[in-house]
Amino acid sequence: MSYKFDFAFLADKWPDFVAGAWLTVELTVASIALGFVLGTVCALARVYGGPVLRRLVGIYVETIRNTPLLIQIFIVYFGLSSLGLKLSAEVSAIVALTVNMGAYTTEIMRAGIQSIQRTQLEAADCLGLTRLQTILHVVLLPAMERVYPALSSQFVLLMLASSITSQISAEELTATANLVQSDTYRSFEVYMIVAVVYLALSALYRLALWAIGLVLFERRRRLGTPL
């Protein structure tokens, strides 16, 4: 093998990689936040809703979890625009990633909510908490604490999956890599760099999620142990 590695293109191209990585962060933080809210609402509906609502949420979750993200992105970007709803690549990416994230969050949060014992709800009732207070303080926060590890890994997986949005020309990290490699013909080097950037991003996301966990869950902070 006589191939010589050459990273010289980095001298002019590094701002492109930074911009791409930044868009990846923007896209994924937006869709993680929106998807988490969507998923939590759906999980509440799944556990406490009426039969019709429960069924609808079930259909949503199963449809999304059993079809590839690539196809979901195509339906949002190409499909909706052919029906007259034209969204930019970035907005389509956020919509598709949010809908995807929402389905996985629903399943994870449902497990958490179902692990809250009935007696907790009865105790909250006895203490005279309102319905909203009960849901927030007695159901959601402890439920989230229990499933937080699963939730965090799902968030990191979504960040990695966001690379698929390069296929609808959202100019995030992977799309940047595709552009740079077609400019420089240095595909091996380019994709190696991008792999390293993704590794660094996943480490960063894990760190950030760990810190958020410490802030959110007092018990974990004080005792150093998960619930």
Partner 1 sequence: MIQLSANHVLYLVEAARWTILLSLIAFVGGALVGLPLALMRVARSRLLRGLASAYIQLIQGTPLLIVLFLSYFGLGIVGFKLDPLVAAGLSLTIYAAAFLAEIWRGCIEAVPKTQWEASDCLGLNAFQQYAYVILPQAVRIATPPTVGFMVQIVKNTSLASVIGFVELARAGQIVNNSTFEPFAIFAIVGAIYFAICYPLSLASRHLERKAHAGRS
User: Should residue 98 be labelled a site residue for partner 1 when binding is judged by CB under 8 A?
Assistant: no
185 and 18 Cβ atoms separated by less than 8 Å:
no
d(CA 79, CA 85): 9
Q: What share of the chain is helix, strand, coil (3-state, %, to 5)?
A: 85, 0, 15
47 and 39 Cβ atoms separated by less than 8 Å:
no
User: Should residue 154 be labelled a site residue for partner 1 when binding is judged by CB under 8 A?
Assistant: no
d(CA 135, CA 119): 14
User: Should residue 62 be labelled a site residue for partner 1 when binding is judged by CB under 8 A?
Assistant: yes
The stretch near partner 1 (CB under 8 A) out of 33-41, 73-81, 87-95, 124-132 is 73-81
Q: Residues touching partner 1: how many (CB under 8 A)?
A: 44
Alpha carbon separation from 221 to 111, 142, 169, 204, 210 (Å, rounded): 23, 14, 42, 20, 11
User: Should residue 79 be labelled a site residue for partner 1 when binding is judged by CB under 8 A?
Assistant: yes
User: Should residue 192 be labelled a site residue for partner 1 when binding is judged by CB under 8 A?
Assistant: yes
Nearer to partner 1 by C-beta: 85 or 216? 85
User: Should residue 167 be labelled a site residue for partner 1 when binding is judged by CB under 8 A?
Assistant: yes
User: Should residue 56 be labelled a site residue for partner 1 when binding is judged by CB under 8 A?
Assistant: no
Question: Out of 59, 203, 211, 216, which residue is the one contacting partner 1 (CB under 8 A)?
Answer: 203
User: Should residue 224 be labelled a site residue for partner 1 when binding is judged by CB under 8 A?
Assistant: no
d(CA 44, CA 151): 16
The alpha carbon dihedral of 91, 97, 99, 101 has a sign of negative
Nearest to 43 by CA among 180, 146, 169: 146
User: Should residue 202 be labelled a site residue for partner 1 when binding is judged by CB under 8 A?
Assistant: yes
Nearer to partner 1 by C-beta: 135 or 173? 173
Residues in touch with partner 1 (CB under 8 A)? 1-3, 62-63, 65-72, 74-75, 78-83, 156, 160-161, 163-164, 166-167, 174, 177-178, 181, 185-188, 191-192, 194-195, 198-199, 202-203
